[in-house]
Structure 1
Amino acid sequence: MRMLDELHLRFPTFGTRGLRRLLKREQGLNVGRKRLRRLMRLAHISALRPRPRTSAPGKGHRIYPYLLRGVAVTRPNQVWCADITYIPMPRGYCYLVAVMDWYSRKVLGWELSTTMDTAFCLRAFRSAVATAGRAPEIMNTDQGSQFTSTDWIREMKQHEGLKISMDGTGRWVDNVFIERLWWSLKYEDVYLKSYETPRETGRGVGAWLERYNTERPHSSIGDRTPDEAYFGIEAESKWRAA
């Protein structure tokens, strides 16, 4: 699963065929596609390409339409997104969910769990609401069972004016901001430090996300950090130049 996770970050559009070839070429492993599918589901990995669904919804769960086609995201708290990723450890693994503000790329809330259930997603969302002091205008997720569950939808509907949006056919690209976050987190922190326990992982990931929000500039938001973009502050270099 660790190998699959690294290969997926390097080749995010590869499915079981491509990953099988890479595992054989780079690691000398001959793994069947059936096993790869099972491990990819366990690691919450799927190829990034246009497809009918981004994740499997729960049985009987309602799917909401995608609301962001042609929408210009111009301000903080207009659109949030949430996603889950797999975090490997030497003895086991856990899952990380993050809630990100689309406009500023700021991570507003996150949670770590050893199980991929709805409860830790709700805790991350509530943490984001507490950080922002409000809910977003639009909450966008994939169609995974956590985000189509009754508990998640009920939580969204408690916030007046919040609209629920879910990635649909061919909309994999809308998750690219948070996919970049996962790539940076894993290559700059998780893979380098090989955390031993969920508690140690939580401390390390939390410290990295704090630096990401406060210190890491992004060219797409005017060379500002996510915090600067979220709070409407000019980049520090511009202040010094003035």
Structure 2
Amino acid sequence: MLREDGVSIGRFRVRRLMRELGLVSKQPGSHAYKQATVERPDIPNRLNRAFATERPNQVWCGDITYIWAQGRWNYLAVVLDLHARRVIGWAFSAKPDTELVIKALDMAYEQRGKPQQVLFHSDQGSQYASRLFRQRLWRYRMEQSMSRRGNCWDNSPMERLFRSLKSEWVPPTGYLTAQEAQRDISHYLMHRYNWIRPHQFNDGLPPAAAEEKLNPLSGMG
């Protein structure tokens, strides 16, 4: 971001300035992922970690995570377009049910102008394997792909998004109310993450800016 403003700076200068100011980089700890090779016979792993796509609306990924708010766990479902790692849909609820993931998918579908022939990838969660969710994919003419059981690397872009959200943004003690959580998380996902936060996958460009640069006619505002 500093380079975009014309400021010449490198990691050694940043390290020196942080040391002088007593700042410490906040880094998430390592995560030990399970290894597995079991696919669902009816919904195979069609994506197979081919995370680099040629265009927007080619592959979308979805997943659910938990957020502490109002003295209990709440649940966040997000849909990510793999082309530039842009968040295109999300939903927040006190229940991790099928309705939650359908709302996130519906938002993405409308935001992106109702695209056709999208491959939707997720883990083997019961919400994504449910009859109602699969019917929604069928209605939108989308093909479904699922990670192998217990293998988080098969959906690693979603894992990285949630890791960034929780390590950089969500308060360590959670939120006082669910409404506060929804407002704050919406700001992070749709504004800060998409438009401001540099993304390594895009050579330092935020997802929305990278998408507009790569294909200005395909991105949604």
- TM-score normalised per structure 2: 0.76
- What amino acid does structure 1 have at the position aligned with 2:134? I
Structure 2 unaligned spans of 5+: 1-27, 216-221
- What amino acid does structure 2 have at the position aligned with 1:226? P
CA offsets 1:6-40 (integer angstroms, 9 cap, x no match) = xxx63421xxxxxxxxxxxxxxxxxxxxxxxxxxx
Q: Which residue of 1 aligns with 2:47?
A: 68
Report matched runs for 1:161-180 at 5 Å.
162-168=142-148, 171-180=151-160
- What amino acid does structure 1 have at the position aligned with 2:197? R
User: SS of the counterpart of 1:77?
Assistant: coil
Structure 1 unaligned spans of 5+: 1-8, 14-47, 235-242
Matched, 1:49 2:30: no
CA offsets 1:104-139 (integer angstroms, 9 cap, x no match) = 111100011001100011011010011111246200
Q: Is residue 99–residue 107 contact of structure 1 (8 Å, CA) maintained in 2? A: yes
Moved over 4 A (4+): none
Which among 118, 130, 134 is matched to residue 153 of structure 1? 134
CA offsets 1:174-195 (integer angstroms, 9 cap, x no match) = 3221111111111222125731
- TM-score normalised per structure 1: 0.69
**Cα distance, 1:120–1:180 mapped onto 2, change above 3 Å:** same
- What amino acid does structure 2 have at the position aligned with 1:115? K
% same residue: 33
Report matched runs for 1:191-230 at 5 Å.
191-192=171-172, 194-209=174-189, 210-230=191-211
Structure with greater helix percent: 1
Q: Which residue of 1 aligns with 2:82?
A: 102
User: SS of the counterpart of 1:191?
Assistant: coil
Q: Is residue 63–residue 166 contact of structure 1 (8 Å, CA) maintained in 2? A: no
| Count of residue correspondences | 185
Superposition deviation, residue 89 in structure 1: 2.9
Counterparts of 1:11 and 1:50 in 2: how far apart (Å)? 16
Counterparts of 1:109 and 1:70 in 2: how far apart (Å)? 21
Q: Which residue of 2 aligns with 1:82?
A: 62
Q: Which residue of 1 aligns with 2:106?
A: 126
